[in-house]
Amino acid sequence: MRRTSRMAVTVVLAASAVSAACSNAGEGMTPGANGPALLDSADQIAFGFRTLVTDGGLLRAEIFADTAIFLDQNTRVSLRTVHGDFFGATGAKEATLTALVGNLSTRNNVLEAWGNVVITSVDGRVLKTPMIRYIQSQNQVSSDSSFVLTEPGEKEIRGVGFRADPSLNAVEVLKVQSGRGGSFKLPGG
């Protein structure tokens, strides 16, 4: 009789632990990471992913990811631990991107990245934002999220929403919140 009650207590504790683990299953997941449901619908999964984004034979970006999950007949790729390099018209590297996750549309060459996104230009400009969208056909990065752009010489601008070339040479700020360290040319000004 005593052995049965110990076994019942063990079963109850095990069920409680499983229930607690399941109730937290979605916490901490990043946007676009649907866990097992995403894996169930994957066409294929690749580790150590690398792809080139070109425009008329000109290399525009090279995208790397630790994990790539191919979906929708391989027209959409869900990426984890994203790193990308952007290249200019001469083929020289102009900037680097890092992010926690991303989605790459192979139909229209659009990369969306989010989770601690950082773009660093080769001349020292750094843009930090929660999310960006890179549109290959326009050679443009944009976001409607908050951002911080810093430049050498301790210049800094904070705002919400921007459009820029990947090298951060021409940045259009949609809404300025604050700036310091020098002057900035504002659109329409």
pTM comes to 0.75
pLDDT at 127: 96
pLDDT at 168: 93
User: What's phi and psi for 166, nearest 5 deg?
Assistant: -60, -25
pLDDT in tens, the chain (189 residues): 454 444 333 333 333 333 444 433 333 334 444 455 555 567 788 899 999 988 888 899 999 999 999 988 878 999 999 999 999 988 899 999 999 999 999 898 899 999 999 999 999 999 999 999 999 889 999 999 999 999 988 889 999 999 999 999 999 999 998 888 776 555 444
pLDDT at 156: 92
Strand partners, 155: 151
If you count DSSP H runs as helices and E runs as strands, how many of each does the chain have, helices first? 2, 9
pLDDT at 154: 83
Contacts of 17 (CB under 8 A, 6+ apart): none
Distance CA 117, CA 28 (A): 17
> 132-142 burial by CB neighbour count: b if 16+ within 10 A, else e?
bbbbbeebebb
pLDDT at 110: 93
What would the two tokens of residue 39 be? Answer: 């894996």
Amino acid at 169: N
Distance CA 5, CA 2 (A): 5
